[in-house]
Amino acid sequence: MTESSVAVLLFTAVSIGLVHTLIGVDHSLPFVVLGHARGWSLRKVLAITAACGLAHVLSSVVIGVAGISVGVALERLELVEGVRGSLAAWLLIAFGLTWATWGFIRGRRGEHHSHRHAHDDGSLHEHGHDHARQHLHAHEATVDGRKLGFMAFWSLFLIFAFGPCEALIPMLMFPAAEHAWGVVVLVTAAFGITTIGTMMAVVGAAYVGLGRLSLHRFEKHADVFAGLAIAGSGAAISLLGL
């Protein structure tokens, strides 16, 4: 391959990696809303974003290189990626709706209310509590939060592993056909670094920006809003092709 053709491939990989990440709401929104709902630190949100982005890119690389190596036509590989894309979108919708439903039920159980008791001397005493926390100790709440965080991370990780990078495989076809595997690595690295870097930049900016808003009155329903936002991003992929 000539130097000019390699340069064109690399420029294309960077450009497509940047654009497809910026217009894909699923590449950023789930991490921002879940991070705030679960109270994750910015460092943790970015680490999870990077891990999911890596799974997102590498899954397409593995399928693309394996298919090209055994002579599978581009049309068939694109069909496989299309099926994976539809599956990832529906998995996002299912995960989001499940998370929102759990958040709603948890919120209803945690509704603050009061009870009034009459003492022997005729005086009345009133105290408030909520059923979600009345018997919880601090360490139990911490364990519960870790389990939820663990579940949220692996759910997103698997969804992003299913999510395809449709534009990457065609860019690998030309150098792979000429057995220029060094160029395949360069194109993959350019696309992957751009995609993951853009994801982290957008997520970081949105996470910090959202944290500066006054949303205290919505904190009780944070998981509901997070789940609906995630489901919405999946619907945007499925219906609008974003």
pLDDT interval class at 125 (50, 70, 90): very low
What are the distances in angstroms from CA 108 to CA 74, 85, 104, 130? 51, 35, 6, 9
**117 vs 53 pLDDT, higher one:** 53
Q: What is the pLDDT of residue 123?
A: 40
Above 80 in pLDDT, residue 208? yes
135-167 confidence digits (pLDDT tens)? 444 443 444 557 777 888 888 999 998 887 777
Distance CA 170, CA 31 (A): 28
> Residue 85 in contact with residue 237, Cβ under 8 Å?
yes
- pLDDT, residue 124, reads 39
* 8's tokens: 């064109």
Say what percent of the chain tops pLDDT 70: 77
pLDDT of 116 reads 43
Residue spans per domain, the chain: 10-110+134-240
The yes-or-no verdict on residue 16 having pLDDT over 80 is yes
Q: Which two tokens stand for residue 80?
A: 């496989």
Taking residues 219-225, report their average pLDDT.
80
DSSP secondary structure letters along the chain: --HHHHHHHHHHHHHHHHHHHHH-GGGTHHHHHHHHHHT--HHHHHHHHHHHHHHHHHHHHHHHHHHHHTT--HHHHHHHHHHHHHHHHHHHHHHHHHHHHHHHHHHHHT--EEEEEE-TTS-EEEEEE-TTTTT--HHHHHHHHHHHHHHHHHHHHHHHHHS--TTHHHHHHHHHHTT-HHHHHHHHHHHHHHHHHHHHHHHHHHHHHHHTS--GGGGGGHHHHHHHHHHHHHHIIIII--
The model's confidence at residue 113, banded by pLDDT at 50, 70 and 90, is very low
If one compares 114 and 207, the residue with the highest pLDDT of the two is 207
Handedness of CA 222, 224, 226, 232 (dihedral sign): negative
Q: What is the mean pLDDT of the chain?
A: 79
- State yes or no: pLDDT of 15 exceeds 70: yes
The residue with tokens 């690998």 is 172
Tell me: pLDDT of 193 over 90: yes
Token couple for 73: 């036509």
Residues 6 or more apart whose Cβ sits within 8 Å of residue 53:
27, 160, 192, 195, 196, 199, 200
Phi and psi for 42 in degrees, rounded to 5? -60, -40
Question: What pLDDT sits at residue 84?
Answer: 81
Q: Read off the pTM.
A: 0.77
* Model pLDDT, residue 118: 47
Is residue 47 over pLDDT 90? yes
Confidence of residue 117 (pLDDT cuts 50, 70, 90): very low
Where is average pLDDT lowest: 120-124, 182-186, 198-202?
120-124
